[in-house]
Amino acid sequence: MFVSDAVRGLIYVIQSEPSTGADPEADLPPRLTELHGNYPNPFNPSTTIRFALSSEGPVSLEIYDLSGRRVRQLLRGESLPACEHAVVWDGRDDEGRAAAAGVYPVSLRTREKRSAGRSCW
């Protein structure tokens, strides 16, 4: 398609792929269960932790300090569907206190897999 702007003397060429309808793969679950990480990183005052589940089932998502102590449990075995997910951590521990600045490992556990990543605060 061509669009002209007579005032500026420009011609724009607009190209697009022909529409084929719904994408059949858009409704398929992810192929892998994996922890994608978080954004923004480093973060203040919160960060979003993204992960994918290839099958439905119970999920635990926990934040640890570098000594291995659990700081926050964001998900406690909740049954989630197979798809992409995002959970927000507000930078607070299980008691509601603000966590100190630093690096915090993130643990994602499902029936099929345990994944770990790092989150900066």
Which DSSP string do the residues of 77-96 spell out, in sequence order?
A: EEEE-SSEEEEEE-SB-TTS
Give the per-residue pLDDT at 26.
57
49 contacts: CB under 8 Å, gap ≥ 6: 35, 37, 38, 61, 74, 86, 87, 88, 89, 106, 119
Give the per-residue pLDDT at 101.
85
pLDDT means per 10 residues, the chain with 121 residues, are 42 40 62 83 82 93 94 95 93 94 90 72 58
Give the per-residue pLDDT at 23.
52
Give the per-residue pLDDT at 113.
72
Give the per-residue pLDDT at 58.
96
Report how far residue 17's alpha carbon sits from residue 105's, in angstroms, rounded to the nearest whole number.
42
Give the per-residue pLDDT at 41.
73
For the 29-120 domain, the top CATH level (class) is mainly beta
Confidence (pTM)? 0.71
Report how far residue 48's alpha carbon sits from residue 38's, in angstroms, rounded to the nearest whole number.
5
The full set of domain ranges for the chain reads 29-120
Give the per-residue pLDDT at 4.
47
Closest CA to 110 of 23, 7, 33: 33
